[in-house]
């Protein structure tokens, strides 16, 4: 049997989605994808984040390698120019021929540029691709003022980008209001007021007549009403038009105002050709959002399987943050739906002081929600959307659902039960039924459900709804969500932290007596030990604290497989003098220690017997070394690149900053180990994005990244804040670390912690940057206390003879542990293997 | 704790050392002939001293005395510092693997003196 040849034209988000889904089918297809852009598919929805400092690479949805791995032939930077429907072949600009059995057109759309004289000037740009961003950035460097033509969703997104580039920003809209498609007049007015407060100037009802060279700036826009505006660049974002020329040439049916006409199966007028995404016209409509595009891809793909589905149109409700302002629109936001010739009823709540606008449009009988507009507060969006999508009955007095509740929790929604068909995650098309099935299949946490159903792994907008759905389902099954530390403490680490802090408890025995039961164990003891250290920063080997410490903390070194220890002196920022290197070398030589460079720019010395640790440390301390806390759940290292002191590309002194940060946070005990790094430029040689917190230099200061890690499940850190000065950078790190220390679970790295925070990264920003919880001062004060009480634990230890007794191998003998035997390999010691040991002892 | 009946054969090898050498709620190690014995001191327990062979049979190293002590459902244990298995302080049994155990020895505290013998502790 011949494998069917599938050719996909276009590698945008929808085209890529189709290819991924197809490659995952059990049935094998011969898949070819041809993308006009020079790079594989990327996330266009988050394009503007590039101006926030995000690397364009991070927007990538796939790679050439990945396509290769899944058996997809991919060609980028070449455009299909002809479809030969007779020969069932497409031909590209470079003259390549690709025969097909089925052809998928996912050619997307292009930005509409109004035919205004002068709109072809060099400083007139569009906003759609990564290359567009480059052009906007380059042009922005040359001027001070930027104009966006178009006050719709994309236009405002683009205005945010211009603002981030430091331009005086204007939005010019032809219609009388902003976001006229999604918002009613009141909502649009509120949005305008809020945007103007952000110093973005809004000009509505403006028709641009021509664009001519300017006097003070590059260009001058002349409007129909006689007004004019000078600017250095113009970005057109006045809507999209389907890329349908290819289909048109091939004789496929095209809509009157453009768009490739498709049926319920996403078939074009040629039954072997499908069209999906923004190039397709369904029911006279273009669907300019990504989720409907995905649904088209699903439907088109299913036609090649035994279970064909149909595309029935899609809901165009949206929720987004524009210039930091929450905006939501559901269904018929304008109240134009007539039911039995009756006009729908509207309910409105508008608050100028707090800048909140909410409107619901309700069926004439008051039973069903037809639409909604939210500006300034989208917290009810998920619930409203579910009411709308599932055609659920409204409460008796519908107005209650938009009126503010006294306690902040909207009681009108409590007890609202969604049907199983309700879509929870529209990106990945996961229903409540899928989630229930996942829980029935054994998932017991949100994280489990996420990895099982993929829900909330797209845009993440449904995270809160997903969590409440999972919690409700678990509670209904009588599953108690148990985050108790262990049998001795019926509390989570976070609870315990709070109780120890509020009760000012300083000893494990007091904590156990007050809040626990039994004798404790190897789980709760180190946890409480760590909390005590995080709160009071006492010497951890005091007699009352010593029994709490895990073996590494207990002997201030890292136990290896044979019971010997490794030693890691602190080398802040990875910078070390020749003298100190020599000391390390001599100590290693004297005690025959195996030496290895670590990944954190330090030197690890292996094979020290427990009774050698004090002598070794005496030598290191007297040479000026401090403990590196490699044994502790604490700040480990702050790696750095060489920075602008030496490097041709460096823009800041990354080494000095890394040393400063490492010295600041060294020794702070935390729920898990913490790693950091500082890079001196965007080349990122210090790999700061793989750290719990990473700092990357910019020309204007520092970008802060948070919650990355390497290890078993590597995670790229998220960009948290940009272009910070030194003091703000440190302030944010103080707050971030302390908030993590306070609220994370035991042995929870920052990445997992953040994933479990309701509201994720945005919430974290609100706490750390906007001080939403009013905690910032307290977090900083707590950090200051810890910094103040820092001590080098090894220095304290070697100065106290009582403490040194702890490091005897035997309390009644000077002998060594005879089981420890080393052999030589590549000129250094290593533990003998079992056979080697036998050979050595019998010899 | 002062008048525990000292009952060991005069021929058993023993170690005698100061109570001050013990570490509260943690372990130390003594050498009796060539046998390493981990000695744990839990002042609030009766008895208050426990002696086990120092060899971790699963981790294969002499490290048990460096483990954390505690209890699971009332059973007192030391947790291996290498791979965290629990060994009963009373019987030496490994709580995760019943085929594994470590020898337990008699231990006595009298006034300021601790005595450990290599005689296997009588199972109560």
Which residues form the domain of A732?
Answer: 633-792
A221 & A258 share domain? no
Domain assignment present for A308: no
Residues near A624 by beta carbon (within 8 Å), at least 6 away in sequence = A580
Instruction: Tell me which H or E stretch contains A286.
Output: strand A285-286
CB atoms within 10 A of CB A24: 9
Residues A16 and A157 in one domain: no
| A679 and A641 share one domain | yes
For helices A463-476 and A381-389, give the axis angle rounded to 10 degrees.
70
Check pLDDT > 90 for residue A646.
yes
Contact B30 A811 (CB under 8 A): yes
Q: Is B31 close to A547, i.e. CB distance below 8 A?
A: no
Q: Annotate A147-165 with DSSP letters as a single string.
A: EEE--SHHHHHHHHHHHHT
Here the contacts of A582-586 (C-beta below 8 Å, separation 24 or greater) are: A583/A619, A583/A620, A583/A623, A583/A625, A584/A620, A584/A625
- Return the residue of A nearest to B59 by Cα: A561
For residues A787 and A668, membership in a common domain is answered with yes
Residue contact A543–B72, C-beta within 8 A: no
Q: What is the pLDDT of residue A379?
A: 82
pLDDT (0 to 100) of residue B10:
62
User: Which of A302, A319, A343 finishes a domain?
Assistant: A302
Q: What is the pLDDT of residues A729-755, one digit of tens each?
A: 999 999 999 999 999 988 889 988 988
Beta bridge partners of A267: A274
| Contact call for B34 and A550, based on CB within 8 A | no
Is residue A409's pLDDT more than 60? no
Phi, psi of A366 (to 5 degrees): 75, 10
- Residue-wise pLDDT tens digits, A9-44: 999 999 999 999 998 887 889 999 999 988 899 988
| A470 class by beta-carbon count within 10 Å (0-12 exposed, 13-18 middle, 19+ buried) | buried
Distance to chain A for B122, nearest Cα, Å:
24
Question: In chain B, which residue's Cα lies nearest the Cα of A549?
Answer: B68
Segment among A63-72, A124-133, A311-320 with least mean pLDDT: A311-320
Residue A834, classed as helix, strand or coil, is helix
User: Which pLDDT band, with edges at 50, 70 and 90, does A759 fall under?
Assistant: confident
- Best of A522, A820, A835, A836 to disrupt the B interface (most B CBs within 10 Å) is A522
Q: Contact B61/A809, CB-based, under 8 Å?
A: no
Which pLDDT score, from 0 to 100, does residue A290 have? 86
pLDDT in tens, chain B (124 residues): 333 444 556 667 888 899 999 999 999 999 998 899 999 999 999 899 999 999 999 999 999 999 999 999 999 999 999 988 999 999 999 998 889 999 999 998 988 899 998 877 755 4
- Chain B residues within 8 A of A524 when measuring between CB atoms: 70
Same-domain check for residues A103 and A246: yes
Q: Are residues A160 and A286 in the same domain?
A: no
Across the beta sheet with A208-213, what order do the strands follow?
A: A208-213, A219-223, A228-231
Q: Are A810 and B36 in contact (CB < 8 Å)?
A: yes
Distance from CA of A518 to the nearest CA of B (A): 7
Torsion of CA A178, A181, A182, A183, to 10 degrees: 50
Task: Identify the band that residue A725 occupies on the pLDDT scale cut at 50, 70 and 90.
Answer: very high
Q: For residue A449, what pLDDT is reported?
A: 86
Instruction: Say if residue A408's pLDDT is above 50.
Output: no
Is the pLDDT assigned to residue A390 strictly greater than 90?
Answer: no
* B70–A810 CB contact, under 8 Å: no
The reply to whether residue A817 touches residue B36, judged by beta carbons under 8 angstroms, is yes
Question: Which residue from A minimizes the CA distance to B69?
Answer: A521
Domain boundary assignment for chain B: 14-120
B17 contacts in A (CB within 8 Å)? 811-812
Please indicate whether, in this complex, the C-beta atoms of A522 and B82 are within 8 angstroms of each other.
Answer: no
* Option in A559, A805, A818 nearest B81 (CB): A559
* Interchain proximity A551–B17, CB inside 8 Å: no
Please calculate the CA angle A631-A743-A733 and round it to the nearest 5 degrees.
70
Is A222 in the same domain as A254?
no
- Whether A581 has a pLDDT exceeding 70, the answer reads yes
Domain boundary among A274, A302, A330: A302
B-interface mutation test, from A488, A549, A563, most B Cβ less than 10 A away: A563
> What's the CATH number where A200 sits?
3.50.50.60
How would CATH label the architecture of B14-120?
A: 3-layer Sandwich (2.102)
Closest-CA residue of B relative to A555 is B66
- Backbone phi, psi, residue A517, to 5°: -150, 160
Segment A398-405 mean pLDDT: 80
What is the per-residue pLDDT for A469?
Answer: 84
pLDDT digits (tens, 9 = 90+) for A82-141: 999 999 999 999 999 999 999 999 999 999 998 899 999 999 999 988 889 889 989 998
Give the C-alpha separation, A83 to A89, whole Å: 6
- Asked if B4 reaches chain A (Cβ–Cβ under 8 Å), the answer is no
Task: Determine the pLDDT at residue A413.
Answer: 64
Taking an 8 Å cut-off on Cβ atoms, the answer to whether B23 and A521 are in contact is: no
- Work out the burial of residue A796: count CB atoms within 10 Å of its CB; fewer than 13 is exposed, 13-18 middle, 19 or more buried: middle
Same domain membership, residue A83 and residue A26: yes
CA distance A296 to A287: 10
Task: Give the model's pLDDT for residue A727.
Answer: 96
Buried/exposed A201-224: b ≥16 CB within 10 Å, e otherwise: ebbbebebbebeebeebbbbbbbe
Q: Are residues A647 and A781 in the same domain?
A: yes
φ/ψ of B41, rounded to 5, equals -120, 115
Contact criterion met (CB < 8 Å) for B26 and A546: yes
Q: Are residues A691 and A784 in the same domain?
A: yes
| Domain end point (choices A283, A302, A321) | A302
Highest mean pLDDT: which of A351-355, A469-473, B25-29? Answer: B25-29
Coil, helix or strand for A678? strand
Q: Which residues of B touch A548 (CB under 8 A)?
A: 68
A561 touches chain B (CB under 8 A): yes
Considering the domain boundaries, does residue A768 fall inside one? yes
A517 to chain B, closest Cα gap in Å: 10
Q: In terms of domains, do A214 and A246 share one?
A: no
Give the closest of B16, B59, B62 to A817, CB-based: B62
How close, in Å, is residue B3 to chain A by CA atoms? 23
| pLDDT of res. B9 | 64
Query: Do residue B29 and residue A809 have CB atoms under 8 angstroms apart?
Result: yes
- Give the DSSP letter of residue A4: P
Report the alpha-carbon distance of residue A233 to residue A122 in Å, rounded.
9
Q: Do B21 and A811 touch (CB under 8 A)?
A: yes
Asked if A807 reaches chain B (Cβ–Cβ under 8 Å), the answer is no
Interface of B with A in 55-114 (CB under 8 A): 59-63, 66-74, 76-77, 79, 81-82, 84, 86
Does B6 lie at the interface with A, CB-CB under 8 angstroms? no
Position A406 scores a pLDDT of 55
Give the C-alpha distances (Å, rounded to integers) separating A768 from A324, A633, A677. Answer: 16, 23, 20
Q: Of residues A198 and A660, which shows the higher confidence score?
A: A660
Burial of A291 (0-12, 13-18, 19+ CB in 10 A): buried
Query: Chain A within 8 Å of B35 (Cβ-Cβ)?
Result: no
Chain B residues near residue A817 by CB distance under 8 angstroms: 36, 62
The CATH number of whichever domain residue A758 belongs to comes to 3.30.413.10
Quote the distance between the C-alpha of residue A255 and its chain's center: 39
Average pLDDT over residues A469-489: 80
Whether the predicted pLDDT of A618 surpasses 50: yes
Q: With an 8 Å Cβ cutoff, is A804 touching chain B? A: no
Judge whether A249 lies within some domain. yes
Q: Decide if A358 is inside a domain.
A: no
* Cβ neighbours, 10 Å, residue A439: 22
| Closest CA of chain B from A728, distance in Å | 42
**Domain count of chain A?**
3
**Cα(A273)–Cα(A270) distance, rounded to whole angstroms?**
5
Task: Measure CA A420 to chain center.
Answer: 29
Which residues of chain A have a CB within 8 Å of the CB of B82? 559, 561, 563
Does the beta-carbon distance from A522 to B79 stay under 8 Å?
Answer: yes
As a whole number of Å, the end-to-end CA separation of chain A is 69
Mean pLDDT score, A625-637: 96
Q: What contacts A74, CB < 8 A, 6 or more positions away?
A: A11, A32, A33, A34, A35, A40, A64, A67, A68
pLDDT for the residue numbered A391: 87
Q: Which of B30, B62, B66 sits opposite A551 (nearest CB)?
A: B66
Could B23 and A554 be called an inter-chain contact, meaning their C-beta atoms sit closer than 8 Å? no
SS (H, E, C) A524-557: HHHHHHHHHHHHHCCCCCCCCCHHHCCHHHHHCC
CB contact under 8 A, B70 and A559: no
CB-CB: which of B36, B66, B71 is closest to A521?
A: B71
Asked if residue A177 lies in contact with residue A152, where contact means CB atoms within 8 angstroms, the answer is no
Average pLDDT over residues A341-365: 90
* Interface residue of B20, B24, B27, B31 to substitute, partner A, most A CBs within 10 Å: B31
Q: Which residue has the higher pLDDT, A406 or A811?
A: A811
Residues A85 and A219 in one domain: no
* Bond prior to B47 in cis (omega within 30° of 0): yes
Task: Give the containing element (helix H, strand E) for A388.
Answer: helix A381-389
Predicted local distance difference test score (pLDDT) of residue A412 = 60
Q: Do A547 and B68 touch (CB under 8 A)?
A: yes
Mean pLDDT, residues A617-646 taken together: 96
Query: Cβ–Cβ of A521/B30 closer than 8 Å?
Result: no
**C-alpha count within 13 angstroms, C-beta hemisphere, residue A574:** 21
Contact A141, A162 (CB under 8 A): no
Say whether residue A520 is in contact with chain B using an 8 A CB cutoff.
yes
More confident residue, A140 or A416: A140
**Best residue in B24, B33, B53, B61 to probe A by mutation, most A CBs within 10 Å?**
B61
**pLDDT at position A460:** 67
What is this model's ipTM?
Answer: 0.91
């Amino acid at each position: 049997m011949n494998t069917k040849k599938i050719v996909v034209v276009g590698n945008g988000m929808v085209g890529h989605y189709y290819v991924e889904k197809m490659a995952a089918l059990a049935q094998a297809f011969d898949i070819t994808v041809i993308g006009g852009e020079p790079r594989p598919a990327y996330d266009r929805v988050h394009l503007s984040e590039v101006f926030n400092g995000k690397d364009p690479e991070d927007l990538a949805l796939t790679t050439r390698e990945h396509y290769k791995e899944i058996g997809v032939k991919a060609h980028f930077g070449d455009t299909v120019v002809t479809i030969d429907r007779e020969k069932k072949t497409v031909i590209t600009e470079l003259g390549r021929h690709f025969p097909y059995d089925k052809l998928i057109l996912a050619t997307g759309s292009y930005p509409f540029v109004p035919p205004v004289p002068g709109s072809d000037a060099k400083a007139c740009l569009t906003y759609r691709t990564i290359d567009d961003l480059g052009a906007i950035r380059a042009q922005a460097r040359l001027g001070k003022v930027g104009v966006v033509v178009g006050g719709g969703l994309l236009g405002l997104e683009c205005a945010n980008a211009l603002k981030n580039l430091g331009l005086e920003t204007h939005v010019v809209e032809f219609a009388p209001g902003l976001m006229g498609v999604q918002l009613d007049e009141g909502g649009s007015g509120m949005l305008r007021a809020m945007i103007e407060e952000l110093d973005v100037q809004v000009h509505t009802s403006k028709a641009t007549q021509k664009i001519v060279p300017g006097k003070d700036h590059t260009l001058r826009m002349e409007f129909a009403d006689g007004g004019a505006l000078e600017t250095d660049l113009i970005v057109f974002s006045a809507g999209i038009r389907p890329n349908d020329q290819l289909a048109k040439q091939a004789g496929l049916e095209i809509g009157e105002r453009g768009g490739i006409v498709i049926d319920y199966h996403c078939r074009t007028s040629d039954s072997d050709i499908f069209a999906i995404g923004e190039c397709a016209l369904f029911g006279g409509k273009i669907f300019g959002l990504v989720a409907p595009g995905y649904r088209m891809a699903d439907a088109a793909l299913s036609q090649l399987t035994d279970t064909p589905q149909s595309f029935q149109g899609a809901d165009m409700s949206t929720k987004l943050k524009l210039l930091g302002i929450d905006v939501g629109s559901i269904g018929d936001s304008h109240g134009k739906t007539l039911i039995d010739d009756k006009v729908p009823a509207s309910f409105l709540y508008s608050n100028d002081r707090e800048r909140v606008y909410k409107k619901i449009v309700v069926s004439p009988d008051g039973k069903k929600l037809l639409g909604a507009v939210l500006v300034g507060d989208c917290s009810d969006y998920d619930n409203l959307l579910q009411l709308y999508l599932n055609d659920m009955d409204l409460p008796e007095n519908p107005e209650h659902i938009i009126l503010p509740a006294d306690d902040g929790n909207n009681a009108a929604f409590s007890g609202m039960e969604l049907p199983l068909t309700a879509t929870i995650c529209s990106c990945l098309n996961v229903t409540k039924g899928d989630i229930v099935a996942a829980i029935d299949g054994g998932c017991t946490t949100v994280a489990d459900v996420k990895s099982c159903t993929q829900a909330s792994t797209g845009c993440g907008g449904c995270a809160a709804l997903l969590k409440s759905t999972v919690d409700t389902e678990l509670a209904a099954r009588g599953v108690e969500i148990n985050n108790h530390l262990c049998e001795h403490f019926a509390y989570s680490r976070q609870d315990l932290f709070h109780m120890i802090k509020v009760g000012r408890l300083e000893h494990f025995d007091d904590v156990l007596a007050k809040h626990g039961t039994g004798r404790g164990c190897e789980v709760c003891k180190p946890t409480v030990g760590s909390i005590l250290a995080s709160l009071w920063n006492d010497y951890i080997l005091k007699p009352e604290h010593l029994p709490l410490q895990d073996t590494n903390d207990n002997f201030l070194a890292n136990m290896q497989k044979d019971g010997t220890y490794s030693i890691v002196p602190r080398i802040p920022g990875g910078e070390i003098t020749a003298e100190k290197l020599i000391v390390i070398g001599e100590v290693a030589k004297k005690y025959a220690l195996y030496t290895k460079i670590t990944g954190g720019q330090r030197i690890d010395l292996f094979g020290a017997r427990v009774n050698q640790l004090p002598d070794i440390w005496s030598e290191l301390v007297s040479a000026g070394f401090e403990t590196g806390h490699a044994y502790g759940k604490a700040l480990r290292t702050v790696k750095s690149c060489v920075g602008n002191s030496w490097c041709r590309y460096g823009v800041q002194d990354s080494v000095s900053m890394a040393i400063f940060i490492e010295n600041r946070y060294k020794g702070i005990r935390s729920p898990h180990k913490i790693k950091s790094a500082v890079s001196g430029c965007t080349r990122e040689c210090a790999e700061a994005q793989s750290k719990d917190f990473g700092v990357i230099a910019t020309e204007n200061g520092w970008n802060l990244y948070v919650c990355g890690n390497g290890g078993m499940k590597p995670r790229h850190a998220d960009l948290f804040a940009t272009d910070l000065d030194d003091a703000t950078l440190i302030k944010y790190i103080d707050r971030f670390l302390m908030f993590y220390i306070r609220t994370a679970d035991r042995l929870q790295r920052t990445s997992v912690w953040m994933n479990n925070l309701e509201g994720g990264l945005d919430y974290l920003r609100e706490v750390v940057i906007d001080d939403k919880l009013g905690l910032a001062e307290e977090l900083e004060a707590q950090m200051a206390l810890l910094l103040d009480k820092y001590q080098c634990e090894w220095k304290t230890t070697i100065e106290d003879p009582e403490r040194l007794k702890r490091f005897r191998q035997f309390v009644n003998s000077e002998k060594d542990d005879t089981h420890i035997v080393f052999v030589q390999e590549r000129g250094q010691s290593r533990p003998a293997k079992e056979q080697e040991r036998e050979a050595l002892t019998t010899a | 704790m002062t008048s525990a009946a000292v009952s060991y054969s005069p021929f058993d090898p023993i170690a005698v050392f100061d109570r001050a050498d013990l570490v509260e709620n943690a372990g130390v190690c003594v050498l009796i002939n060539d046998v390493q014995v981990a000695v744990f001191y839990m002042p609030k327990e009766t008895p208050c001293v426990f002696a086990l062979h120092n060899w971790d049979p699963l981790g294969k190293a002499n490290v048990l005395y460096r483990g954390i002590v505690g209890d699971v459902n009332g059973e007192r244990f030391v947790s291996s510092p290498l791979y965290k298995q629990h060994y009963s302080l009373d019987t030496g049994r490994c709580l995760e693997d019943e085929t594994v155990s470590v020898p337990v020895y008699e231990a006595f505290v009298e006034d300021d003196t601790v005595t450990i013998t290599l005689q296997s502790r009588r199972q109560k």
